[in-house]
Structure 1
């Protein structure tokens, strides 16, 4: 094997584990990009091989869906819906169920990170204004966003990658993933109710400002129609999903209301760069024979990633160590078939609720809470996140064992 390539690969994935490069303001995306640059500059991979490694359809699909999600964010849809739900007079446990159901449904079609980014700040303010303890509702938001996003192949970045790489059927995956995800959402409600049964209200304090993005009914309707048609095409049309998503994005960009730069400003460019960089790093490692070496040593140790159970558990553990997108990129070269694709998607996504850094959605919610003076510590999150993860993984594992 090429020692230089192996060292760069180890350094990149170690930075995934640490959240970046210690001592420097370089996050996971920056570390992956530096790794790709080093490999290209050091001839660990050629320019042609690097270009071939980049999965353009996956990037195109992800970009198109980000533009669709931006339409709803700019139209004030998230704020309008959440305000209507939270301000309605209902018991806290019923409101919790409504937040979980709404978050899960939105995350399945608009990606979980975008939903959390748009909803978390507003949900925090609305709970404080209503003298509700915001912590259980914010934990519900993060957990439900992760679980709901696992229900479709467009709910989160790792599912998009899995669906495109393994050419999974949108409808078949939906049928397999929906039951355990619905059960997982119910578990989120039950666990949070048990943990916070006497802690729903807080002392009245100073109110906070409302969301300053007005609700635009026409722009929201426009986005809803495009999204509906897009999902119908995903389910029944024979055309490539990435072309459908790009077409939807193109229609939405033809706007007399929103400047293109405002829409583009809501696209998660660092995530796209992370994908591109890891495509190159993983390809270099694979060409150097590193993946074959890892698989042979795993088999020697009695770990066969060709088997469902070791792959399911390994994916869950690895997703918490290096985050779910890098974990999936590491495992995809050794996975084949529809059933293994569903296993990867469910395990990597549901495992994201275990600790705060297990998913970007968790980090977004915790950071949004911090900005309005709400502290969600690792211990606070773990009291809900750990039981939610273990029970939802158990349900999903049992379901997959029955249907595959």
Structure 2
């Protein structure tokens, strides 16, 4: 693909790169709202003709992600009115007697497991309200727990076929099944999770102090007193349970996760929300996050249209010269770095056919010999999401929810934590892939 840019006008190529880089720089500088920046860049690409209007709507914006987000935000908003999250928070904190470190471990484990069996976004939408409830009770800073939720959602989602969209794409393209992902990706994910928690403890250990009076006060709280609307609670639990079951079975029942989420939200608003409350429920949607995603999808789509992503992916494969070990290592690190800065879905979509072509050119007698490369792609693409604040959908959702509560997660603030942890994660995965597969 040396002539990957030959059919693209030079002005489009330069324009797409300049717009994307400028928007990215302004996002890092945090001088303007990131949603406004992303939408501005997307609109500019469409106005000057870099991205076709129809393509922007039909090809680039991932409506599945958008509607999944909206559906789950609506469900969480209605459920919050029952006091369920406060109840879970108090019970959980009492279980570990208010120990901040144990609370972090407990919430991190729940987030990782939830992200492995659901999707990252759904998990953080459910866990963040619990984090705020617990930290309010203990009067500790919520930031360590919010950062942990982001990191663990991306790490946990790496372990299974359904945990992260790149894994679903790889699995459907290679016929690797659920057990294959668990067996091959479970060990490095567990090691990465442990390393990340240790690093978080080292970074935030001064913030894990709680007043003994707060613990005593916590243990006296009657958790059931938070359950203010038992009828609505039952309705929410039924709808939430059916929605989660639908997520787990979506590949069997052939209904997309976004449709399941919207169906659950619609049913819950019909049976659990009064007419005058509907507008308030819709206002609770993190529209800043939604519009940021829409703009970002179009920006990355512009890079894909002019061939930038395909060009980079092709050059990565050319450098390996057919060496499986080198290929695995390079795919792992390039995927990790790329997924920290651009959406991993179009990147993985581009890499899959290129890796398949490489396997055909290598004339492998056993197709399974290419599996280490697939595992490297999955590990890099999923774990790379922890590198920056815009590296994964869950990151932005948590940041949006945190900002509404008055706790802003800045790009540079997250980068100082996420980048080192991502680096250590990729090192661990490199060692694992090298020892196990080569």
Q: Of the candidates 109, 112, 118, which is equivalent to residue 120 of structure 2?
A: 112
Change over 3 Å in CA distance of 1:281–1:387 after alignment to 2 = closer
| 2:237 is the alignment partner of 1:216 | no
What do residues 88-126 of structure 1 show as CA deviations (whole Å, max 9, x unaligned)?
343443322211111222333454345445544652453
The structure-2 alpha-carbon separation of the partners of 1:153 and 1:73, relative to structure 1 and needing over 3 Å to count, comes to farther
**1:318 alignment partner in structure 2:** 338
Write out aligned runs for 1:81-230 (5 A): 81-90=88-97, 91-116=99-124, 119-120=127-128, 122-132=130-140, 134-152=142-160, 154-155=162-163, 159=166, 162=169, 166=173, 171=178, 172-195=180-203, 200-202=208-210, 216-230=233-247
Q: CA deviation at 1:228?
A: 1.6
Matched, 1:11 2:18: yes
| Among 262, 271, 275, the residue aligned to 1:249 | 262
Q: Which residue does 1:285 correspond to in 2?
A: 306
- Give the direction of change, closer, same or farther, for the CA distance of 1:108–1:174 in structure 2 (3 Å limit): same
Cα distance in 1 between the residues matched to 2:321 and 2:404? 45
TM-superposed deviation, 1:20: 3.8
Which shows bigger deviation, 360-369 or 108-117? 360-369
Q: Does 1:266 align with 2:285?
A: yes
Residues 36 and 292 of structure 2 are in contact (CA less than 8 Å); yes or no, is this contact kept in structure 1? no
Q: How far is the alpha carbon of 1:37 from its aligned partner? A: 4.2
Closer/same/farther in 2, CA of residues 7 and 251 from structure 1, 3 Å limit: same
CA shift, 1:18, in A, is: 2.0
1:350 aligns with 2:380: no
Q: Is the 8 A contact 1:132 1:201 kept in 2?
A: yes
Report the CA distance between 1:2 and its aligned residue: 0.5
CA gap of 1:377–1:34, structure 2 versus 1, over 3 A, is closer
Distance 1:394 1:35, change over 3 A: same
Q: Does 1:334 align with 2:351?
A: yes
* Contact kept? 1:282, 1:329, Cα under 8 Å: no
Aligned length: 388
> Which whole-Å CA distance do the structure 2 matches of 1:379 and 1:282 have between them?
24
d(CA) in 1 for partners of 2:300 and 2:205?
A: 46
2:59 is the alignment partner of 1:53: yes
Residues 381 and 51 (structure 1 numbering): CA distance in 2 closer, same or farther, change over 3 Å? closer
Contact 1:135-1:374 within 8 A present in 2 as well: yes
For residue 75 of structure 1, what is the aligned residue in structure 2? 79
C-alpha distance after superposition, 1:116-163 (max 9, x if no partner):
45544652453343244545434333322221233345545x538846
The superposition leaves residues 266-313 of structure 1 with CA deviations (integer Å, 9 ceiling, x where unpaired) of 376325524652464145313xxx55655666678x467992221211
Equivalent residue, structure 1, for 2:424: 391
Asked whether the 8 Å contact 2:124–2:149 carries over to 1, the reply is yes
Query: What's the TM-score once normalised by structure 1's chain length?
Result: 0.72
Give the C-alpha shift of residue 10 in structure 1: 0.2
Q: Secondary structure at the match of 1:151?
A: coil
Unaligned runs of 5+ in 2: 1-7, 218-222, 357-369
Cα distance in 2 for partners of 1:154, 1:62 equals: 18
| 1:107/1:146 contact within 8 Å kept | yes
8 Å Cα contact 1:316/1:351 also seen in 2 = yes
Provide Cα deviations, 1:312-355, integer angstroms capped at 9, x if missing partner: 111222233x2x41x54245323335955553343233233345
Q: Give the Cα separation in 2 of the matches to 1:60 and 1:362.
A: 17
Asked if 1 retains the 8 angstrom alpha-carbon contact of 2:159 and 2:189, the reply is yes
Alpha-carbon distance in 2 for matches of 1:24, 1:199: 28
Q: Quote how far apart the aligned CAs of 1:25 are.
A: 3.7
2:366 maps to: none
CA contact (8 A) 2:125 2:397 kept: yes
CA distance in structure 2 between the partners assigned to 1:374 and 1:64 by the alignment:
24
For the residues of structure 2 that align with 1:291 and 1:375, how far apart are their CA atoms? 31
Structure index of larger Rg: 2
What SS does the corresponding residue of 2:247 show, helix, strand or coil?
Answer: helix
CA contact 1:5–1:39 (8 Å) conserved in 2: no
Change (3 A) 1:184 1:264: farther
